[in-house]
Structure 1
Amino acid sequence: MIVCSVVFGSVATAAYIFRDEGKRLPPASIGSTYAVQGMNVYQGTDMTGPPSGVVPRQGQLEITGFKLAGNGKDWIQVRSRGVSGYVHPSEVAPPKVSNREQGYLLLKGFLGTIDNPSLMSLAVDSVDSYRHYSGADARADELDWTLAEHLRTLKSGEDLARVERLEYSKLAAKPGEYQQRAEARMAELSARTRSVSQNTTHLVRR
């Protein structure tokens, strides 16, 4: 039996298992997710033409491959109840991974694509799940930092600021590569909060 998979940067092709007689089995699962809304699944990575199938809202999906380069041509390869093909990352929830190496690459690329504020708490859960799954893998801290930095760029509402603060506070409380940088970000958050509060008070007094 031969296991074959390819990982390059944030691109992972499906991993296939070949029996000695050359029979190819279905691709191995990297993780799981679900459809945020009802969505089409396509045969090609360009996701054009007639869909090969439809997955309903909250339909469960296995992830078998991905390309997350942030160049507008990202895709997630999925399968679900006889339907398999490609979907855009924005159409699925943050994944729970079941493969340490490819799962890390999947999350690292996926976290920067999230632009739906309602999915951010699920993104935190995904990173926490990776940390639990991978044990003492220090890359979980990198994923926390990646998510916190992405939240910082969005600057959208108090709920996101709360999640951002939570991610930085976890890293600031833990000795390691990201501790000092997280402490600096926490100081920036505090200064930003004070500035907003002072401006609000000034407007009220006027």
Structure 2
Amino acid sequence: MATPSPVSEPRRRDAIDVVVFDAMGVLYSCADDVGELLVPFLRGKGCVLERRDIDDLYRACSLGKMSSADFWAAAGVPGAPDDEYCRGHRLTDGVVTVLAELDTTGVRLACLSNDVSEWSKLLQERFGLAEFITDWFVSGDTRVRKPDPEAFTGLRRRLDVVPDRILLIDDRAENVMAARAAGLQALRFGSAGLSTMDQLRRELRPW
């Protein structure tokens, strides 16, 4: 019999105190926000930087090494408005229903995201997600990005919850594997049988 994939194969889950959602590709529908949203936005503003240079600037900004204003200036589009860029993001269909149902169970909800601090806050406010998600761990603030093990160690430490009572839902295999290596429970959103919020609702129904 073939050995199940360590990423896609669901595992039995024990009691969960905190469900932690990734942002891009889970809460928000666009998984590759740099390639699908940021680069076209920059091109529309006249940015002529190579893609690798844009990637480097974004990574630095998402690690809190520069502000969003500094990012726009370094990308050659000084004064570009954060809110205009963030209007390109959309919630994943059904995510509010999932959050609302989990909220009624008493499970604590959190978000662990690789993102620019200013943009993350704008999206939280725009979509009202703070109504359900009380704890936000954004790389632009924490200065560490998934799948760095410190992202999960820091998450556990700040939540003050033992690792195996935390469930991460993330769309990237490397983040799921790193979370499990850190002792967290983890599911890969977008894998077979877990590619919609309706399927995720059924998976999480015991809570």
TM-score in terms of structure 1 length: 0.27
- RCO higher in structure (CA 8 A, sep ≥6): 2
TM-score in terms of structure 2 length: 0.27
Higher radius of gyration, 1 or 2: 1
